[in-house]
Structure 1
């Protein structure tokens, strides 16, 4: 076996592998004998077919298969042993001459391949200063969270009068006409919380008690309720009745009123809400603060990671073997069974997507190597387990069912690769973040969430503008 490696000046290389007769003859003869034992031809007993006939019938395909395997083994063994980092896979050189595999002539077979080499480059931008939002959790936010939990765990008790903001009032109401209850008019029941009432309606309710009747405009009962929702939720009209004419004036009797009694912050309530480790209000507040801070820091990390990504992509110079990569894409384009693309299609896809994606992959690989980031099997199983909980929120799975689902995901190559990639990226960023120069800005939760919304909307506008520009370009090319 002879291997010649030539490093070019454009981030490519030429490798020529020559398979000599002594490399394949023994394996060829062994395979022919194996065929002779298995083949059963008419006129010959099994295993007695002459070798000459076996060579004539199967020799060319056997020789092709053996030489090809010898070639592949030698090629990838060389790249591995010499630590040649390649982009994509080797592809046949454009000047590779066609080969004719001839049995019995003891020929040498030479194969030429072009390689794209991983460029040598330095990361740029890591030493820059990066803005980081350090969200502050206020006592007021924690108070709101505690209050929400107490409401959810609270109970309701009936009240007769002196209604308060959180009281829920139930009405039996009838449509009116000319100051009287309308014959055969609409009758409906509904309930509304005092805090959600329109001011004029609320004033009448607060002056009344259970059993009293008040007159009102049904379209002015609840704040910010559209006419459509009034018809659906207060008049209880179905879709077929929604357009019927109804007088707005109603007379409604207050038939029930209940008041929310918030749950006490005792140990039983707290352990149910937070787990066995939380037994006091102080511990609950600390738990909420830590949980909120973790969530907001994850959002801040996401913004930081995007800024780091953009900076590294903008400032890191990588000399890419563009011509080779386009040839490689063209050579391998139909492996997934998709429709073939023209050279022009490849050119556009390379410029629009592939090149920048590959640049980021190279940058990521360099960072991963620098920080020696690895992903263990146990971490992948933990991530898949976390995803099971996301897929089935609130469901209590017994251990057997959980294990079956986990095993199914672990056998799914796409799921495993996706989990591996996510874990690797997360660990890479955490390692990189330690060395970043962060310009921290303390910001309230409300202001930070408003900032996140503004950034998301800006990115959406950019994406829409980019898509519109791309659509215009495609239309222009069609014309």
Structure 2
């Protein structure tokens, strides 16, 4: 076998692969022999079909399949052995010459187009840029809102006599006509909802104070101001079906549950953080605020990473083999709707590709790969944070088993690797930028 590379320009090349009979004949013959052991043909016992008949029947298909495998594996090996940095995958190049004569040809030649990765010189980073790192001010308003949300999670439901705005109402609803009569084939079911979801105040007022078995006629289009997604969610129908509703409903209260929020006491503290983690309300609030600051820091870190990414991409000004990549994207996307969007979304995709190439270069040259221990620690910390909000806890051995099981999933592992390496990349870039720290409110941060 002979593989040669013809460089078209700095970003494009063509591989020429030449196969001789000795490159594939032995493999093809072995596959046919294996076929012979398994094939069943009329008039022959299983495994006793003459080799000549097997070859005549299956030889051409096996030849094409094995040659394709050999060429594909050889191209990949060539890229690895020659340390060629490519983007996308090699694309078979359509040749204008006479098509392959599989019945008579002994020597074969295949051409593959390559998209070459651009050269990346990290010296460019020596010239410092400027970037803003935001810090969210965890003020009393945020603490109160988050604390209310946490208490709501641990709230209990108790039966109530009269409907209040935040109660959960269980109601039987029947679709009615303009005269107030039940519609035979109309909606007739039991639903659960809260008046908090109502957008019309008069509709809300008509239910406030109702007791069990009391009824009221309700226009859901009015109550939700024609928000068909909400109507569909409450009635358990699609938004399109909700849009077609023209009738009112008779709503009969069957049950009322009011949510009782827990008090800030030692029982709640232990449910959230575990036994003896905090001793009183002051310690609890200090720890709660500290956890919130860590939570919001993750938001600002992602924001900083995105701003660094934009500036770094602009600094390097990398060029990609764009025409090759557009063709490659169309080949790998079988869905026509996705193909149609390739040109429209290409700029965004190419920016992401440039960032990946820069990241890969930095990770390789600075040994920033994520270790197995770092991956487990990341999963462990994330799990512990989640458990704190539910009042649960795991023993150390249980945590280890969970981490190992979670990371067996390749998709999960890749996500964790991206997060760990992403944090390392941010720390790598920080000294290479003049960073101005700016404190902002959560409201202002969301506007950025």
Q: Give the TM-score taking structure 1 as reference length.
A: 0.60
CA contact (8 A) 2:376 2:404 kept: no
Structure showing greater Rg: 1
Shift of 1:45: 4.4
Q: Deviations over 1:218-241 (max 9, x none)?
A: xxxxxxx95554444357786427
Shift of 1:402: 9.4
CA contact (8 A) 1:32 1:55 kept: yes
| Aligned counterpart for 1:424 among listed residues 415, 421, 424 | 421
Shift of 1:91: 0.6
Q: Secondary structure at the match of 2:14?
A: strand
1:450 maps to 443
Q: 1:234 to 1:371 in 2, by over 3 A?
A: farther
Q: 1:454 to 1:29 in 2, by over 3 A?
A: closer
Distance, in Å, in 2 between the alignment partners of 1:44 and 1:94 is 42
Shift of 1:71: 1.2
Distance, in Å, in 2 between the alignment partners of 1:321 and 1:58 is 41
Shift of 1:269: 7.3
Shift of 1:304: 1.8
Distance, in Å, in 1 between the alignment partners of 2:62 and 2:303 is 58
CA contact (8 A) 2:272 2:389 kept: no
**Matching of residues 222-237 of structure 1 within 5 Å:** 228-233=203-208
Residue 100 (structure 1) aligned with residue 82 (structure 2)? no
Q: 1:440 to 1:31 in 2, by over 3 A?
A: closer
Q: Secondary structure at the match of 1:375?
A: coil
Shift of 1:130: 1.7
**Matching of residues 36-435 of structure 1 within 5 Å:** 36-95=36-95, 97=97, 98-102=99-103, 107-122=106-121, 127-135=128-136, 228-233=203-208, 239-240=216-217, 274-275=273-274, 276-279=276-279, 283-284=283-284, 286-334=286-334, 338-339=335-336, 345=340, 348-349=343-344, 351-377=346-372, 386=382, 394=390, 396=392, 413-433=410-430, 435=432
CA contact (8 A) 1:19 1:70 kept: no
2:227 maps to none
Distance, in Å, in 1 between the alignment partners of 2:164 and 2:55 is 91
CA contact (8 A) 1:388 1:406 kept: no
CA contact (8 A) 2:326 2:343 kept: no
Q: 1:80 to 1:354 in 2, by over 3 A?
A: same
Shift of 1:294: 1.7
CA contact (8 A) 2:36 2:48 kept: yes
Distance, in Å, in 2 between the alignment partners of 1:233 and 1:133 is 44
Q: Secondary structure at the match of 1:112?
A: strand
RMSD: 4.7
User: Structure 2, unaligned stretches of length 5 or more?
Assistant: 153-160, 167-199, 223-260
Residue 23 (structure 1) aligned with residue 23 (structure 2)? yes
Shift of 1:289: 4.3
Report how many aligned residue pairs link the two structures: 360
Shift of 1:280: 5.5
Distance, in Å, in 1 between the alignment partners of 2:217 and 2:272 is 44
Q: Secondary structure at the match of 2:83?
A: coil
Shift of 1:75: 1.1
Shift of 1:3: 0.8
Q: Deviations over 1:23-77 (max 9, x none)?
A: 1222223233333333343344444433322221111112222222221221111
User: Structure 1, unaligned stretches of length 5 or more?
Assistant: 153-171, 173-187, 193-224, 244-259, 456-479
Distance, in Å, in 2 between the alignment partners of 1:262 and 1:393 is 16
Q: 1:46 to 1:272 in 2, by over 3 A?
A: closer
Q: Secondary structure at the match of 1:364?
A: helix
Distance, in Å, in 1 between the alignment partners of 2:364 and 2:431 is 16
Distance, in Å, in 2 between the alignment partners of 1:38 and 1:352 is 52
Q: Secondary structure at the match of 2:336?
A: coil
Q: Secondary structure at the match of 1:8?
A: strand
Q: Give the TM-score taking structure 2 as reference length.
A: 0.64
CA contact (8 A) 1:13 1:117 kept: yes
Q: 1:422 to 1:239 in 2, by over 3 A?
A: farther
Q: Secondary structure at the match of 1:83?
A: coil
